[in-house]
């Protein structure tokens, strides 16, 4: 990689952004002198004025160029060697003008004269200046770039040789060997300088600043002027004071201007595809043109040889380019491949998620459109495997997992390993949400099969997060972040597969807005309770209801609890939310009891609530505030809550039970069910999850679970509540099994308090009787049931 030379104080300090006033006046004077001299070559007055223009004006301009360039070398430390070398050349050239005007010019002048060595000094000095200036700008260039420069120099030399041959028109230089050598030294020196500056411009490319442009222009003018002079001398047609002489002055103006231009800081920019191919292409065209011209005209052998060498250099350049492209392709392939599994890595996935450049949108590989979604898979307990069995076993497991996932991945999808135990599948455009879920579950099943590793058999489980485009994000580049949020939920909830939800995303703008709105909702009392009846199966009486919170959002309408409860749980709002629900519920319960409705109300508690040691005191305070007996309140807790911190949760449950409130195990059968807590915890009720209840009339296994759970509850002296009762057949089956209470849409959906009152008036709410009768199991169900009904 190319590295630009740093700008350091002293050695690489920048030239002033604006030249000193004396320099600016000198440049203006030089430009004015050049204009005057050029005008004199076109409209020269009396012959006597030749001394003025050719001597004083021309010589003065040459001296002024020397002073300006020498001043740059002496006053600015940056690139001092470059401009000192050029200053020597232009000073020698100016001295040559003085010598020529005073000692050589005249009817008897000879060639070469004593002024010519001074004139010729410009060539080695300019060559040294160019090389030094190039070295300050670039370091460590690839070989192909230098070959480009060599090819460009050879091509220019070949073209110059061919054009000069045609310009001579068959004339030859006559005189002594010294005269011939001096006559050829000028154009050959210019060819060398032109070749060097052309090669330098090719090497620099876009890094070439304006100084290089002015230097190249000055050298080009010198080359044209010297070649024209050689031709005119050979033909005997040279006349002093013509526009030819003005070309040398113009070249000096460009030198002086280049000397005082500020150095531009250049960043390393890739020249692009066109910039890479242009130099060898142009050199090839020039070389082939010279060779073709050699068939029709007698070109010098040196021109033909230079053209042939140009083609050789271009061929070398092509070989180097092919090697660089091959190395680059191999490096890119390695950079995009995971070393352990051979799958594409995170970098490859990120590249696939980035939108195609405008120039590639019409390509075949981009025609399918953006990806439809991303699956992020993480292996559970992988660190435990590494720590227990060693990293070599973990690596082998990852290789086998990669093979299984690859076998399951559909054509068009991209499977990548992101690192560690994370894999991702980028779903091809057109994949539906249902298909994405199917692929995710298929990956989970693939991983769940047994692995045989180093004489060890392992069972591994995986969690998959699903993010879809554009459902979950407008920018495909955000799919990975969205899938990571979903995967974390799948892992914590042990759902195996989970889709992205905005309320789970701690960095979501919408989540933050919802959080702030929820805080305001708690302050403004926008949370409302709906109540669902719990109907006694034996007699159809309604003695209890469950309070279910809703959010009456001012703009989004009535929101279900799953849209805000997870957010409240994650952000510390569950405590004030639960207290608000309890306060509202107990206030409503007191009003009902005042109306003669002897109901109990169930309220759900979360993990956060059950780990809150202040909760029993808060419940006691609210019961006293609303003058509601503790037996009228039932608190529902889930199995997962009990498993979170059994000791702490147990102490909170015991304190609540001491208040006299009822306790119910909600969603029984869906978590890590353990009979030990049924033995140790003072609960009154089991609520069997709806997944078993809904299928008990069609699935014998579900029916067996329901029947055995009813028997277990009654054997332990607990009441059994069946959730999700939606049809009469299910209710009759529950009645046959001896289930105590049914809850579901068959009886009623959750209702606002006023609608519930009308429902109770229509369906009837029978009093429960004195004391805690509602918390007791009917006598016929006390003890282990002796009756076992057949399962259909």
Give the tens place of pLDDT for each residue, 322-366.
676 676 666 667 778 888 898 998 888 888 888 655 444 443 343
Secondary structure (DSSP) of 399-464? HHHHHHHHHHSPTT-EEEEEETTEEEEEEPTT--HHHHHHHHHHHHHHHHS-EEETTEEE---EEE
The whole-number pLDDT of residue 580 equals 96
Share of the chain above pLDDT 90, in %: 27
Tokens coding 103: 């000692």
Joined together, the tokens standing for residue 129 give: 């200046």
The predicted-structure confidence for 72-106, as pLDDT tens digits, reads as follows 878 777 778 888 888 888 888 888 877 877 777 66
pLDDT digit string, tens, across residues 262-278: 766 554 444 444 455 66
Give the SS3 label for residue 657. helix
Q: What is the pLDDT of residue 10?
A: 36
The Cα–Cα gap between 250 and 231 comes to 20
The b-or-e profile of 415-450 (16+ CB within 10 A means b, else e) is: bbbbeebbbbbbbbeebeeeebbebbeebbebbeee
Say what the pLDDT of residue 94 is.
Answer: 80
Question: Residue 745: what pLDDT?
Answer: 92
Mean of the pLDDT values across residues 473-485?
A: 86
Q: Does the CA dihedral 133-136-137-141 come out positive or negative?
A: positive
| CA–CA separation, 64 and 34 (whole Å) | 11
On the question of pLDDT at 368 being above 60, the answer is no
Burial class (CB in 10 A: 0-12, 13-18, 19+), 261: middle
CA nearest to 354, candidates 463, 453, 478, 242: 478
Between 659 and 774, whose confidence is greater?
659
Q: Give backbone dihedrals phi and psi of 236, rounded to 5 degrees, phi first.
A: 75, 30
246-256 mean pLDDT = 87
Residue 734 confidence class, pLDDT cut points 50, 70, 90? very high
Q: pLDDT: is 721 or 203 the higher one? A: 721
> pLDDT-derived band of residue 676, with 50, 70 and 90 as boundaries?
low
- CA end-to-end span of the chain: 78
Question: Hey, how many other C-beta atoms are within 10 angstroms of the C-beta on 475?
Answer: 12
115 falls in which pLDDT band (50, 70, 90)?
confident
How far is 559 from 537, CA to CA, in rounded Å?
Answer: 31
- What is the total residue count of the chain? 792
Q: Is pLDDT above 60 for 37?
A: yes
| pLDDT band at 161; cut points 50, 70, 90 | low
User: What does the alpha-carbon distance between residue 379 and residue 373 come to, in Å, rounded to a whole number?
Assistant: 20
46: confidence class by pLDDT, cuts 50, 70, 90: low
Peptide bond connecting 112 to the previous residue in cis, omega within 30 degrees of 0: yes
Q: What is the pLDDT of residue 109?
A: 66
Return mean pLDDT, the chain: 78
Backbone angles phi, psi at 549, to 5 degrees: -80, 145
For residue 85, what is the DSSP state?
H
pLDDT at site 22: 83
Q: Which of 52-61, 407-416, 472-481 has the lowest mean pLDDT?
A: 52-61
In the chain, what are the helix, strand and coil shares in percent, each to the nearest 5? 60, 10, 30
pLDDT band at 422; cut points 50, 70, 90: very high
What is the pLDDT, as a whole number, of residue 296? 63
pLDDT at residue 74, as a whole number = 80
CA–CA gap between residue 737 and residue 710 (Å, rounded):
7
Phi then psi dihedrals of residue 425, to 5 deg: -125, 115
pLDDT of res. 108: 64
Q: What is the pLDDT of residues 606-627, one digit of tens each?
A: 888 888 899 999 999 999 999 9
Residue 787 banded pLDDT, cuts 50, 70, 90: very low
Higher pLDDT, 448 or 170: 448
Token pair for 228: 């024209």
Q: Which residue from 621, 706, 629 is spatially nearest to 661, judged by alpha carbons?
A: 629
Q: How far is CA 166 from CA 161, 170, 293, 791, in A?
A: 9, 8, 11, 111
| 470-474-479 Cα angle (round to 5) | 75
**Residue 297 reports pLDDT greater than 70:** no
pLDDT of residue 103: 77
Can you spell out the DSSP letters for 196-261?
HHHHHHHHHGGG--HHHHHHHHHHHHHHHHHHHHHHHHHHT---TTSHHHHHHHHHHHHHHHHHTS
> Do the Cβ atoms of 139 and 204 come closer than 8 Å?
no
Does residue 494 carry a pLDDT above 60? yes
Residues 245, 58 contacting (CB under 8 angstroms)? yes
pLDDT band at 13 (very low <50, low <70, confident <90, very high): very low
What is the reported pLDDT for 265?
53
In this prediction, residue 213 carries a pLDDT of 82
Q: How far apart are alpha carbons 158 and 10 in whole angstroms? A: 41
What are the tens digits of pLDDT across the range 371-386?
889 999 999 888 878 8
Contact 482, 467 (CB under 8 A): yes
Question: Would you say the pTM of this structure is higher than 0.85?
Answer: no
- Give CA separation, 573 vs 505, 519, 526, in Å: 16, 8, 14
Phi, psi torsion values for 309, nearest 5 degrees: -65, -30
DSSP string, 369-411: -S-SEEEEEEETTHHHHHHHH-HHHHHHHHHHHHHHHHHHSPT
pLDDT at 329: 63
Is residue 359 a contact partner of residue 274, using CB atoms and an 8 Å limit? no
Tell me the sheet residues that pair with 549.
Answer: 529
Most confident of 8-17, 404-413, 472-481: 404-413
Q: What is the separation of C-alpha 787 from the centre of its chain, rounded to a whole number of angstroms?
A: 66
pLDDT of 217-232, one tens digit each? 887 787 778 777 777 7
CA separation for the pair 336, 327 (Å, rounded) = 14
Residue 778: band (very low, low, confident or very high) from pLDDT cuts 50, 70, 90: very low
With beta carbons less than 8 A apart as the criterion, state whether 550 and 580 touch: no
pLDDT at 775: 36
Show contacts of 161-165: CB within 8 Å, 24+ apart: 161/191, 161/290, 161/299, 161/300, 161/302, 161/303, 161/306, 162/290, 162/293, 162/294, 162/299, 162/300, 162/303, 164/227, 164/230, 164/231, 165/297, 165/298, 165/299, 165/300, 165/303
pLDDT confidence of residue 255: 85
Spatial CA neighbour of 250 closest among 23, 30, 66, 45: 30
Confidence band of 603 (pLDDT split at 50, 70, 90): very high
The neighbour count for residue 31, using CB atoms within 10 Å, is 16
The Cα–Cα gap between 676 and 673 comes to 9
Closest CA to 514 of 646, 97, 506: 506
User: What pLDDT shows up at residue 139?
Assistant: 60
Q: What is the pLDDT of residue 366?
A: 38
Residue 34 has pLDDT above 60, yes or no: yes
Nearest 10 degrees: CA dihedral of 101, 106, 109, 112?
20
| Tokens encoding 379 | 């292996």
CA atoms lying within 13 Å on the CB side of residue 379 = 29
Kindly state the helix (H) or strand (E) to which residue 510 belongs, with its residue range. Answer: helix 509-524
What pLDDT shows up at residue 47? 54
Q: Which residues pair with 685 in a beta bridge?
A: 664, 719
Q: With bands split at pLDDT 50, 70 and 90, how would you rate the model's confidence at 656?
A: very high
Q: What is the pLDDT of residues 97-112, one digit of tens each?
A: 778 777 776 666 666 7
Tokens 């956060």: give the residue.
608
Q: Is 583 or 649 the better-scoring residue by pLDDT?
A: 583
User: What does the DSSP assignment read for 8-27?
Assistant: -TTTSPPPPSS--HHHHHHH
């Amino acid at each position: 990689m190319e590295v630009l030379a740093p700008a350091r104080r002293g050695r690489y300090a920048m030239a002033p952004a604006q030249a000193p006033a004396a320099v600016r006046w000198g440049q203006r004077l030089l430009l004015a002198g050049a204009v005057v001299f050029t005008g004199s070559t076109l409209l020269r007055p009396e012959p006597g004025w030749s001394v003025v223009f050719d001597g004083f004006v021309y010589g003065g301009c040459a001296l002024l160029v020397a002073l300006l360039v020498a001043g740059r070398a002496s006053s600015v430390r940056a690139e001092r060697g470059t401009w000192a070398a050029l200053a020597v050349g232009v000073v020698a050239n100016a001295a040559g003008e003085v010598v020529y005007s005073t000692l050589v010019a005249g009817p008897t002048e000879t060639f070469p004269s004593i002024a010519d060595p001074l004139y010729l000094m410009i060539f080695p000095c300019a060559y040294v200046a160019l090389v030094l200036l190039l070295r300050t700008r670039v370091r460590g260039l690839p070989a192909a770039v230098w070959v480009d420069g060599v090819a460009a120099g050879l091509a220019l030399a070949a073209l110059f040789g061919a054009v000069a041959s045609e310009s001579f028109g068959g004339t030859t230089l006559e005189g002594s060997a010294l005269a011939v050598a001096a006559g050829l030294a000028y154009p050959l020196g210019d060819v060398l300088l032109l070749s060097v500056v052309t090669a330098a411009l090719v090497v620099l490319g876009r890094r070439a600043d304006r100084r290089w442009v002015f230097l190249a222009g000055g050298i080009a003018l010198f080359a044209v002027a010297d070649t024209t002079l050689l031709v005119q001398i050979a033909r005997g047609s040279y006349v002093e004071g013509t526009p030819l002489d003005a070309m040398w002055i113009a070249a000096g103006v460009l030198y002086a201007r280049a000397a005082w231009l500020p150095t531009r800081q250049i960043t390393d920019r890739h020249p692009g595809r066109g910039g890479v191919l242009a130099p060898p292409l142009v050199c090839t065209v020039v070389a082939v043109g010279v060779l073709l011209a050699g068939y029709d005209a007698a070109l010098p052998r040196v021109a033909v040889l230079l053209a042939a060498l140009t083609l050789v250099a271009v061929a070398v350049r092509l070989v180097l380019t092919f090697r660089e492209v091959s190395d680059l392709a191999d490096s890119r392939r390695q950079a995009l491949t995971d070393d352990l599994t051979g799958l594409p890595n995170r970098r490859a996935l990120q590249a696939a998620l980035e939108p195609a450049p405008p120039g590639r949108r019409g390509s075949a590989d981009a025609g399918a459109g953006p990806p439809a979604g991303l699956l992020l898979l993480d292996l559970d307990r992988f660190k435990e495997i590494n720590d227990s069995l060693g990293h070599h076993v973990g690596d082998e497991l990852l290789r086998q997992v990669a093979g299984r996932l690859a076998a399951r991945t559909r054509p068009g999808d991209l499977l990548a390993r992101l690192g560690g135990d994370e894999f991702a599948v980028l779903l091809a455009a057109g994949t539906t949400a249902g298909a994405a879920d199917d692929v995710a579950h298929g990956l989970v099943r693939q991983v769940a099969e047994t692995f045989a590793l180093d004489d060890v058999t392992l069972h591994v489980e995986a969690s998959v997060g699903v993010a879809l485009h554009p459902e979950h994000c407008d920018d495909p580049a955000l799919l990975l972040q969205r899938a990571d949020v979903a995967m974390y939920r799948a892992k914590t909830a042990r759902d195996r597969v989970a889709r992205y939800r905005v309320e789970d995303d701690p960095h979501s703008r919408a989540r933050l807005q919802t959080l702030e709105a929820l805080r305001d909702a708690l302050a403004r009392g926008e949370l409302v309770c709906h109540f669902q009846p719990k109907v006694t199966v034996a007699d159809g009486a309604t003695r209890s209801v469950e309070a279910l919170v809703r959010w009456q959002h001012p703009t989004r309408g009535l929101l279900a609890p799953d849209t805000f409860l997870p957010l409240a749980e994650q952000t510390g709002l569950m405590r004030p939310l639960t207290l608000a629900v309890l306060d509202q519920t107990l206030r409503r319960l007191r009003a009902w009891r005042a109306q003669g409705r002897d109901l109990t109300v169930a309220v759900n508690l979360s993990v956060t609530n059950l780990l809150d040691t202040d909760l029993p005191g808060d419940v006691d305070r609210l019961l006293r505030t609303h003058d509601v007996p503790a037996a009228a309140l039932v608190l529902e807790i889930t199995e997962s809550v009990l498993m979170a911190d059994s000791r702490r949760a147990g102490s909170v449950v015991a304190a609540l039970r001491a208040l006299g409130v009822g306790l119910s195990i909600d969603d029984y059968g869906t978590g890590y069910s353990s009979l030990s807590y049924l033995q140790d915890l003072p609960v009154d009720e089991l609520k069997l999850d709806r997944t078993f209840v809904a299928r008990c009339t069609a699935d014998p296994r579900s029916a067996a679970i329901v029947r055995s759970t009813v028997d277990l509850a009654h054997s332990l002296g607990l009441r059994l509540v069946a959730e999700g009762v939606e049809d009469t057949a299910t209710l009759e089956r529950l009645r046959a099994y001896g289930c105590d209470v049914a809850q579901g849409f068959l009886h009623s959906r959750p209702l606002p308090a006023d609608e519930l009152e009308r429902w109770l008036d229509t369906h009837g709410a029978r009093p429960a009787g004195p004391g805690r009768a509602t918390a007791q199991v009917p006598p016929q169900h006390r003890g282990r049931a002796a009756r076992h009904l057949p399962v259909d």
